[in-house]
Amino acid sequence: MKEFGLPLDVNEWRLFIDSSKLSLKMVLLHNGDELPCIPIAYAPHMKETYEHLQQLLHRIEYTQYEWSICADLKVVALLMAFNRALQNFAASFVNGIVVLQIYTISRKTGLPECV
Protein backbone atom coordinates (compact mmCIF):
# COMPACT_ATOMS: atom_id res chain seq x y z
CA MET A 1 0.00 0.00 0.00
CA LYS A 2 2.89 2.33 0.75
CA GLU A 3 4.15 1.80 -2.80
CA PHE A 4 0.87 3.18 -4.13
CA GLY A 5 0.84 6.09 -1.68
CA LEU A 6 -2.40 4.85 -0.12
CA PRO A 7 -3.29 4.67 3.59
CA LEU A 8 -2.94 1.26 5.22
CA ASP A 9 -5.95 1.23 7.54
CA VAL A 10 -7.11 -2.38 7.45
CA ASN A 11 -10.67 -1.39 8.37
CA GLU A 12 -10.96 0.73 5.20
CA TRP A 13 -10.24 -2.15 2.81
CA ARG A 14 -11.83 -5.50 2.03
CA LEU A 15 -10.42 -8.46 0.16
CA PHE A 16 -12.45 -9.56 -2.87
CA ILE A 17 -11.78 -13.11 -4.03
CA ASP A 18 -12.97 -14.28 -7.43
CA SER A 19 -12.48 -17.77 -8.72
CA SER A 20 -13.26 -19.76 -11.79
CA LYS A 21 -12.40 -23.27 -12.86
CA LEU A 22 -9.03 -22.12 -14.19
CA SER A 23 -7.96 -19.05 -12.19
CA LEU A 24 -8.02 -17.27 -8.84
CA LYS A 25 -7.95 -13.50 -8.36
CA MET A 26 -7.64 -11.37 -5.22
CA VAL A 27 -8.25 -7.62 -5.20
CA LEU A 28 -8.33 -5.07 -2.39
CA LEU A 29 -11.45 -2.89 -2.58
CA HIS A 30 -11.74 0.37 -0.69
CA ASN A 31 -14.82 0.76 1.50
CA GLY A 32 -16.82 3.58 -0.02
CA ASP A 33 -15.04 3.20 -3.37
CA GLU A 34 -13.14 6.47 -2.93
CA LEU A 35 -9.79 4.90 -3.82
CA PRO A 36 -8.94 2.61 -6.75
CA CYS A 37 -8.97 -1.16 -6.32
CA ILE A 38 -5.60 -2.87 -6.00
CA PRO A 39 -4.99 -6.28 -7.60
CA ILE A 40 -2.77 -8.25 -5.21
CA ALA A 41 -2.89 -11.85 -6.48
CA TYR A 42 -3.62 -13.51 -9.79
CA ALA A 43 -3.10 -17.21 -10.37
CA PRO A 44 -4.11 -18.04 -13.96
CA HIS A 45 -3.69 -21.82 -13.77
CA MET A 46 -4.90 -22.58 -10.24
CA LYS A 47 -8.20 -24.40 -9.87
CA GLU A 48 -10.63 -23.29 -7.19
CA THR A 49 -9.73 -25.53 -4.26
CA TYR A 50 -9.35 -24.95 -0.54
CA GLU A 51 -5.61 -25.69 -0.73
CA HIS A 52 -5.02 -23.12 -3.48
CA LEU A 53 -7.00 -20.45 -1.62
CA GLN A 54 -5.01 -21.20 1.54
CA GLN A 55 -1.76 -20.92 -0.40
CA LEU A 56 -2.66 -17.53 -1.88
CA LEU A 57 -3.92 -16.19 1.47
CA HIS A 58 -0.62 -17.26 3.03
CA ARG A 59 1.41 -15.55 0.30
CA ILE A 60 -0.41 -12.23 0.70
CA GLU A 61 0.05 -12.51 4.49
CA TYR A 62 -3.68 -12.42 5.19
CA THR A 63 -3.19 -13.31 8.88
CA GLN A 64 -1.20 -10.11 9.35
CA TYR A 65 -3.91 -7.83 7.92
CA GLU A 66 -7.16 -9.83 8.34
CA TRP A 67 -9.20 -7.80 5.85
CA SER A 68 -12.90 -8.53 5.63
CA ILE A 69 -13.46 -10.99 2.80
CA CYS A 70 -16.15 -10.60 0.17
CA ALA A 71 -16.73 -13.33 -2.36
CA ASP A 72 -19.41 -15.46 -3.95
CA LEU A 73 -20.94 -18.31 -1.96
CA LYS A 74 -18.79 -20.90 -3.70
CA VAL A 75 -15.60 -19.23 -2.46
CA VAL A 76 -17.10 -18.82 1.02
CA ALA A 77 -17.86 -22.54 1.01
CA LEU A 78 -14.28 -23.34 0.00
CA LEU A 79 -12.85 -21.09 2.69
CA MET A 80 -14.99 -22.74 5.33
CA ALA A 81 -13.57 -26.09 4.21
CA PHE A 82 -16.84 -27.98 4.22
CA ASN A 83 -16.88 -31.00 6.46
CA ARG A 84 -18.52 -33.57 4.23
CA ALA A 85 -19.65 -35.76 7.14
CA LEU A 86 -23.29 -35.14 8.05
CA GLN A 87 -23.22 -31.36 7.82
CA ASN A 88 -25.43 -29.05 5.82
CA PHE A 89 -24.83 -25.33 5.55
CA ALA A 90 -27.63 -22.86 5.08
CA ALA A 91 -26.72 -19.39 3.88
CA SER A 92 -28.84 -16.28 3.65
CA PHE A 93 -27.79 -13.27 1.62
CA VAL A 94 -29.17 -9.97 2.90
CA ASN A 95 -27.83 -6.50 2.10
CA GLY A 96 -24.50 -7.87 0.92
CA ILE A 97 -23.80 -9.88 4.08
CA VAL A 98 -23.63 -13.66 4.05
CA VAL A 99 -24.85 -15.36 7.21
CA LEU A 100 -24.03 -19.04 7.51
CA GLN A 101 -25.61 -21.52 9.86
CA ILE A 102 -24.33 -25.03 10.39
CA TYR A 103 -26.82 -27.85 10.63
CA THR A 104 -26.06 -31.40 11.68
CA ILE A 105 -28.29 -34.42 11.43
CA SER A 106 -29.64 -35.52 14.81
CA ARG A 107 -28.80 -39.13 15.56
CA LYS A 108 -31.99 -39.48 17.63
CA THR A 109 -34.57 -37.97 15.27
CA GLY A 110 -32.76 -37.95 11.92
CA LEU A 111 -33.76 -34.28 11.44
CA PRO A 112 -31.45 -31.28 10.91
CA GLU A 113 -30.48 -29.30 14.02
CA CYS A 114 -28.78 -25.92 14.14
CA VAL A 115 -25.38 -26.10 15.85
For 23-81, the pLDDT digits (tens) are 889 998 888 878 888 899 999 888 878 888 888 889 988 888 888 888 877 777 777 76
Distance in angstroms between the alpha carbons of the first and the last residue of the chain = 40
In the DSSP assignment, the letter for residue 7 is -
β-bridge pairing 68-71 and 112-114:
unpaired
**pTM, rounded to two decimals:** 0.64
**β-strand partners of 91:** 100
Helices (H) and strands (E) in the chain, counts: 3, 7
In angstroms, the CA 98 to CA 64 distance is 23
